[in-house]
């Protein structure tokens, strides 16, 4: 049941980063991700420096550390994707897996460690960004950074209706749960795994069809109110001096780190 209980990513707070312009925060987050990926494998000092950068971000946002930590676990699946590299990269043998006979190379271990750190750092910065920026501000930020309108509108509608569809899914699960009973006549309850999978598949399918139908109704309602392909937000706020300062200083730090690590 709780599988569909979607929560907002925004965490209410009043740290310094909350007040920064969403465009600047977006730019910094994107630049950070590019900068991290530009660091050569095994450059642990540079990774440490990027870690410091994130730590400063968390401190400036005054987000609870546990919150950032928990949400960054999103990076975990990357481990599964990266692990084969330990055994496939040629290099000096570090250890051998008993029974299977796979040999782990030193170069492979460094590569996997670097990939893990890079993805974790990138997720961390995204977590900080989404936790201290209102979703609507993020989408406005995208628009003002000249992200194509279609893309920005799509993200906006996804955010608007994600919770509606989530609630619909939750009601479906409730209805199913209400009829998942044990007979007083003593039959073995639960059905086969295949049947249960089919029921779930049907539920997902009907949710999809309903979302599709809903989108058509929404579109009709928008046309009825004069929609012409653009979602208009309020007037544009000029960047404050503090925002420019934040951007330029971050650029200097990130750029400096990349140049240092690649020299």
Partner 1 sequence: MLDFKPRTKPIGSNDHTITIGHESPVVIAIRDLHYAYPNGHPALVDTNLTIRQGERVAVMGPNGAGKSTLLMHLNGILRPRPGQTGCGGAIEVAGLSLTDENLRRIRALVGVVFQNPDDQLFSPTVYDDVAYGPLYMGMPRAEIEQRVREALAAVDTSGFEERMPHHLSIGQRKRISLATVLVMDPQVLILDEPSAGLDPRARRGLIALLRGLPQTLLASTHDMRLVRDLFDRAIIMQDGRIVVDAPAIDVLSDEALLEEYGLEAP
Closer Cβ to partner 1, 181 or 238, answer by number = 181
C-alpha closest to that of 250 among 51, 55, 23, 25: 25
Total Cβ atoms within 10 A of residue 153 = 16
Q: Report the nearest approach of partner 1 to the CB of residue 208 (Å).
A: 12
* Strand partners for 104: 95
Closer Cβ to partner 1, 40 or 192, answer by number = 192
Is residue 257 within 8 A of residue 46, CB to CB? The reply is yes
Closer Cβ to partner 1, 178 or 216, answer by number = 178
Query: Distance between CA atoms of 96 and 103, rounded to whole angstroms?
Result: 4
Please provide the DSSP assignment of 211-244 as one string: HHHHHHHHHHHHHHTT--S-PPP-PPPPPPHHHH
Query: Distance between CA atoms of 188 and 228, rounded to whole angstroms?
Result: 57
Residues that bind partner 1 (CB under 8 A): 1, 168, 171-172, 174-185, 187-191, 195, 199, 202-203, 205-206, 209-210
Closer Cβ to partner 1, 66 or 187, answer by number = 187
Query: Distance between CA atoms of 3 and 173, rounded to whole angstroms?
Result: 9
Is residue 74 within 8 A of residue 123, CB to CB? The reply is yes
What phi, psi does 169 have (nearest 5°)?
-60, -40
Q: Report the nearest approach of partner 1 to the CB of residue 173 (Å).
A: 9
Closer Cβ to partner 1, 90 or 184, answer by number = 184
Closer Cβ to partner 1, 148 or 205, answer by number = 205
Q: Report the nearest approach of partner 1 to the CB of residue 62 (Å).
A: 23
Q: Report the nearest approach of partner 1 to the CB of residue 211 (Å).
A: 12
Q: Report the nearest approach of partner 1 to the CB of residue 198 (Å).
A: 9
Query: Distance between CA atoms of 165 and 135, rounded to whole angstroms?
Result: 18
Q: Report the nearest approach of partner 1 to the CB of residue 74 (Å).
A: 23
């Amino acid at each position: 049941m709780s599988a569909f209980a979607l929560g907002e990513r925004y965490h209410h707070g009043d740290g310094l980063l909350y007040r920064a312009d969403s465009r600047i925060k977006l730019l910094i987050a994107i630049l950070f991700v590019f900068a991290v990926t530009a660091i050569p494998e095994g450059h642990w000092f540079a990774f440490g420096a990027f870690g410091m950068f994130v730590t400063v971000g968390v401190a400036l946002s005054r987000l609870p550390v546990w919150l950032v930590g928990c949400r960054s676990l999103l990076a975990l699946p990357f481990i599964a994707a990266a692990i084969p590299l330990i055994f496939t990269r040629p290099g000096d043998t570090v250890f051998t897996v008993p029974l299977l006979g796979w040999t782990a190379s030193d170069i492979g271990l460094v590569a996997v460690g670097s990939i893990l750190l890079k993805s974790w750092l990138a997720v961390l910065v995204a977590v900080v960004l989404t936790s201290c920026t209102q979703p609507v501000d993020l989408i406005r930020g995208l628009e003002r950074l000249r992200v194509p309108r279609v893309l920005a509108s799509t993200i906006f509608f996804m955010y608007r209706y994600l919770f509606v569809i989530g609630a619909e899914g939750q009601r479906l699960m409730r209805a199913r749960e209400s009829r998942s009973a044990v007979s007083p006549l003593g039959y073995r309850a639960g059905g086969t795994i295949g049947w249960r999978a089919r029921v779930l598949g049907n539920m997902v399918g009907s949710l999809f069809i309903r979302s599709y139908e809903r989108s058509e109704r929404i579109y009709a309602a928008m046309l009825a109110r004069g929609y012409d392909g653009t979602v208009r937000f309020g007037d544009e706020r000029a960047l404050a001096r503090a925002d420019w300062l934040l951007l330029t200083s971050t650029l200097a730090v990130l750029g400096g780190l990349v140049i240092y690590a690649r020299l």
